A and B are shown apart, each in its own frame.
Chain A
Amino acid sequence: MVEAVHHLLSGFAIATTLDNLLYCLVGAIIGTLVGILPGLGPIAGIALLIPATFGLNATSAIIMLAGIYYGAMYGGSTTSILINVPGETASVITCIDGYQMAQKGRAGQALAICAIGSFIAGSLGILGMVFLAPPLAEAALAFGPPEFFSLMVFGFIVLSNVTGTSLLKSLMMAVLGLIIGTIGLDPVTGLARFTFGSTYLLGGIEFVAVAIGLFGIGEVLINVEQPSEALEQKVLVPRLRELYPTLEDLKQSIGAILRGTGIGFGVGLVPGPAPVIATYASYKVEKSIARHPEEFGQGAIQGVAGPESANNSACQSAFIPLFVLGIPFAPPTAILLGAFLIHGVTPGPMLIGQHPELFWGVVASMYIGNFILLLLNLPFVPLFANILRTPKKVLLPLVILFCITGMYTVNNSVFDIWTMLAFGALGYLMRQWAYEGAPLLLALVLGPKLEVAFRQSLMISHGDFGIFVTRPVSLVFLLATFVFLILPLLRRLLLAARRKITSPA
């Protein structure tokens, strides 16, 4: 405990250098803008900014990219409250009561409680991370290839289960991502696979191109198709003096904020789109324990405070599996894994021991980032609200230009832009056919690791698949995977049986 506090203090010394403070501020501002603007989410936002970090050291780069992630989560709630359009999927729930509060002239209070709740949750989430990450990393040191393989399979199945409308569709996307991940040199033998003689494909498909394509260009193409009125509606701009909640507001919200923090932290540790699930869970809990549940949907402040706190807390704890296992459980952290690798750092159980300055510096910067966002969000809300007034027909070309330029800068390659456009078209079609991009991206990033773990496991066991079930930790992950696979099937059978009973003969 004392050791963790000591390390955290040394992390603060790293995070408070002028350079790192600046990168944290830049990340937080860009993240907020990414969260506010339509057509760009945190995944495409982080991916686009990776090239801008090439000249930085790994710690500063991750500080800035992490800032974009949690900044986007802050920014997403602004659009939910002011125009009833969620900037991110995690902010969908905030629309329900946040927009109602705005309609009643309480937009300022809603935004303020979002910022305060997010700050408290983010700060508590970081404390949880400080005390949980080191012992988890120590435990993970005992993991071998079979355990890592089973854990990754568990991650894919849970993510596929909780994203999209169909488990089968999400699983197909995960397998498709794994197949795309096999393009290039075999990580074990070095043999070229599926390259068709192209030197461009030897290094594999650039994951940044896939991320920007699926989540940037694909999103823009969907936006292009939608009628322009959808985004150019009246923006409710609160005045500065309205941006302070009353004591009564704070009293009503504090319980929801603390509960949301707990829910978010727990959900962030398991695979899946943690912030989205956490916000839904928190809203349900708040509604079920409220003295006046009928106020929910009519502008209940707890309906904003709880989910927004859960959202930020989940974002913080989602970093734990990435840092200590080296396995991201959600697409934004998968992109961050890519950024780590680009900067020559491999996250995993050894990270805290081998790169303490990076781990503790980034953790401390998250705390500072949360404080910056609290300062930034309240006074600048009127400015952000005015950005929302930019017409879509001007905004989308800017996003496209930024995507194309950003993509070229990754490897100075036009081929990467073509890859991005191809995945943009694929992303558009996937939305039309209700397929999820998240499992594909995660599988693409984790694919090579999964393959190596799989082949190493078989080498260790001399070709015996029993190795995955005879090692206890691996067996636990596989059993959990089986439960998650069987759950939707059971649910469907139960529904069919109930329908049979209720329907007339």
Chain B
Amino acid sequence: MGAGLILFFFGAITTVLALQLPIGTLRAAGSGFFPLCLGLLLAVLAFFHLMSLRFQATDAARRPQADHDTPRSQTQMLLSLGTMALATLLLDPLGYPLVSFLLMVALLRVLGTQQWPFNLLVSLITATASYFFFVQWLKIPLPKGWIGL
């Protein structure tokens, strides 16, 4: 239901924003014409989807409840995503070599590698290898940061 509602509003917002662009005529469609059609189409499809979910919900209410899936931990997933976001934020100021090392340390820790020596060793090897591969070999100008590497 949540996804259907989000898509409905996304379609509606697209329609409103498209109306602020030149729509033109059918003979010479303006920049807003195509997005306007798409916004309306998405809103209509999402509306039908929501309606079909309502009918299904009524049907399901009549049937016996199925067992719920085993609850899965979302903490690791959220921490991983947060770590990636933090690494992206720090990429320019700290530079690629340091951020790649810190990212590996953090992700290995988040995903359950508890032994610090192993964690640090894997991170150091990975960061060094990726630095030499991307920066030294492929000559890709990755952010240097305050380290200057």
Q: Which residues of A contact B (CB under 8 A)?
A: 51-52, 166, 168-169, 171-172, 175-176, 178-179, 182, 186, 188-189, 191, 193-194, 217, 220-221, 224-226, 228, 392-394, 396-398, 400-402, 404-405, 408-409, 412, 414, 417-418, 421, 424-425, 428-429, 433, 435, 451, 454-455, 458-459, 462-465
Closest residue of chain A to B74 (Cβ to Cβ) is A225
The 8 A CB mask of B52-86 against A (1 = contact, 0 = none) is 10000000000000000000111011001100110
CB contacts (< 8 Å) of A396 on chain B: these are 80, 107, 111
Query: A182 touching B142 by the CB < 8 A rule?
Result: no
Q: Which residues of B contact A (CB under 8 A)?
A: 2-3, 7, 10-11, 14, 17, 21-22, 25-35, 38-39, 41-42, 45-46, 48-49, 52, 72-74, 76-77, 80-81, 84-85, 87-88, 91-92, 96, 100, 103-104, 107-108, 111-113, 122, 126, 130, 134, 138, 140-143
Query: A168 touching B48 by the CB < 8 A rule?
Result: yes
Query: B126 touching A409 by the CB < 8 A rule?
Result: no
Complex CA gap A224/B85 in Å reads 16
Closest residue of chain A to B104 (Cβ to Cβ) is A397
Query: Main SS of the interface on chain B?
Result: helix
What are 25 contact pairs spanning A and B, CB under 8 A? A171-B45, A172-B42, A172-B45, A179-B10, A182-B35, A191-B31, A193-B35, A194-B17, A217-B84, A224-B80, A225-B74, A393-B111, A393-B112, A393-B113, A394-B122, A398-B104, A400-B80, A401-B103, A408-B91, A408-B142, A417-B88, A425-B81, A429-B3, A455-B29, A455-B33
Q: How far in angstroms is the closest Cβ of chain B from A23?
A: 15
Query: B111 touching A175 by the CB < 8 A rule?
Result: no
Query: B81 touching A458 by the CB < 8 A rule?
Result: no
Closest 9 CB pairs of A and B: A463-B26, A397-B107, A463-B27, A393-B111, A186-B31, A191-B31, A433-B3, A175-B42, A182-B35
Query: B77 touching A51 by the CB < 8 A rule?
Result: no
Q: Quick one: given A404-B103, A405-B142, are A179 and B35 in contact (CB under 8 Å)?
A: yes
Closest residue of chain A to B34 (Cβ to Cβ) is A451
Q: Quick one: given A397-B111, A408-B91, A412-B141, are A182 and B34 in contact (CB under 8 Å)?
A: yes
CB contacts (< 8 Å) of B31 on chain A: these are 186, 188-189, 191, 193
Complex CA gap A435/B49 in Å reads 12
Query: B27 touching A458 by the CB < 8 A rule?
Result: yes
Query: B112 touching A228 by the CB < 8 A rule?
Result: yes
Closest residue of chain B to A456 (Cβ to Cβ) is B29
Complex CA gap A393/B76 in Å reads 11
Closest residue of chain B to A434 (Cβ to Cβ) is B3
Complex CA gap A194/B19 in Å reads 11
CB contacts (< 8 Å) of B34 on chain A: these are 182, 451, 454-455
Query: B76 touching A225 by the CB < 8 A rule?
Result: yes
Q: How far in angstroms is the closest Cβ of chain B from A215?
A: 16
Complex CA gap A433/B32 in Å reads 31
CB contacts (< 8 Å) of B3 on chain A: these are 429, 433, 435
Q: How far in angstroms is the closest Cβ of chain A from B22?
A: 7
CB contacts (< 8 Å) of B100 on chain A: these are 401, 405
Q: How far in angstroms is the closest Cβ of chain B from A468?
A: 13
- Most chain B CB within a 10 A radius of its CB, from A221, A404, A405: A405
